[in-house]
């Protein structure tokens, strides 16, 4: 792997601060930014990365406080008003102007906010957060806390042993994958360790307690895609997303779970590439 880390400054209400972000960059063409979900890391995109890189300059990031990216500076919150400027400053530091963006779960919410702020050319959101009822939010957050607690409680040798069998990989990851057996043992170990080591997990979850995406996006084309077997953010939330962003294209991902990239890599890659080829609706 050739992941790199870059440091840069971003603006806050209290003045400029410095952040560092780890990222993987592959391919050539129009830039495409990939944003993972809470507790995950850039490797969540590995099943589709090379397919996308055949047509795009792909930048997959570890969000601040996740994967190999350090936590945000002391005093910085993990809400949209902080993380979106961080991502904008990150793109500027790489010399990327208005990339396409695709995000999953938390990353989907961030992608939509980047679209609302007109910082990107197009948005593809896979099961984005923020379109829940209060009951659905409590269920999702409770599930995420349970996954985190389980990852923290298991010794590494047990995680490694479980990952060697399809049944063990199902026990570790079936909440987010419809086809957990397709994940390699190495990938399951790495993502379980990423979940337990995520320094931004608690603060990000806390910031999400009041998040409801309630604004239309008219400046850029938007695609919202939802796995038909999403067990974390139920697919009816996709209908709410379509009502909130009427111009969005709503796509079903048959047989896919909450993190669909490994459940059906070819389909997800095609949805992202099609989404980044759409033109804005006329005003």
pLDDT per residue as tens digits for the range 197-224: 999 999 999 999 888 777 789 889 999 9
Q: How far apart are CA 283 and CA 268, in angstroms?
A: 29
pTM equals 0.96
Spans of all domains in the chain: 4-275
Q: What's the CATH architecture for 4-275?
A: 3-Layer(aba) Sandwich (3.40)
Amino acid 211: pLDDT: 84
Q: How far apart are CA 273 and CA 103, in angstroms?
A: 13
Query: Long-range contacts of range 133-138, CB-CB < 8 Å, 24 or more positions apart?
Result: 136/233, 136/234, 136/237, 137/208, 137/209
Amino acid 282: pLDDT: 46
Report how far Cα 124 is from the mean position of its chain's Cα atoms.
11
pLDDT per residue as tens digits for the range 157-170: 999 999 999 999 99
Amino acid 281: pLDDT: 52
Choice between 83 and 2, residue whose per-residue pLDDT is larger = 83
Amino acid 33: pLDDT: 98
Nearest Cα neighbor of 219 from 151, 86, 123, 149 is: 123
Q: How far apart are CA 277 and CA 110, in angstroms?
A: 20
Query: Could you tell me the end-to-end alpha-carbon distance of the chain, in angstroms, rounded to an integer?
Result: 43
pLDDT at 273 over 70: yes
């Amino acid at each position: 792997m050739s992941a790199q880390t870059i440091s840069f400054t971003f603006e806050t209400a209290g003045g400029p601060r410095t952040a560092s972000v780890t990222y993987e960059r592959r391919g050539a063409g129009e830039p495409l930014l990939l944003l993972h979900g809470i507790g995950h890391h850039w490797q969540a995109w590995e099943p589709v990365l090379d397919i996308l890189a055949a047509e795009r300059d792909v930048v997959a990031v570890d969000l601040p406080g996740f994967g190999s990216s350090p936590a945000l500076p002391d005093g910085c919150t993990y809400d949209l008003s902080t993380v979106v400027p961080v991502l904008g400053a990150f793109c500027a530091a790489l010399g990327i102007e208005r990339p396409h963006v695709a995000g999953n779960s938390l990353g989907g919410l961030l992608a939509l906010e980047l679209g609302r702020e007109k910082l990107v050319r197009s948005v593809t959101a896979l099961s984005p957060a923020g379109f829940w009822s209060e009951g659905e939010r409590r269920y999702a957050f409770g599930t995420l806390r349970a996954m985190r607690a389980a990852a923290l409680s298991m010794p590494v040798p047990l995680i490694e042993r479980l990952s060697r069998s399809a049944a063990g990989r199902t026990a570790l990851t079936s909440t987010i994958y419809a086809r957990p057996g397709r994940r390699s043992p190495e990938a399951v170990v790495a993502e379980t360790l990423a979940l337990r080591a995520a320094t931004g997990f608690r603060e990000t979850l806390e910031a999400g307690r009041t998040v409801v995406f309630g604004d239309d996006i008219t400046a850029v084309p938007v695609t919202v895609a939802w796995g038909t077997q999403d067990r974390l953010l139920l697919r009816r939330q996709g209908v709410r997303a379509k009502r909130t962003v009427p111009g969005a294209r709503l796509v079903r991902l048959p047989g896919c779970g909450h993190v669909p990239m490994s459940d059906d890599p070819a389909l997800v890659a095609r949805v992202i590439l099609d989404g980044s080829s759409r033109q804005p609706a006329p005003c």
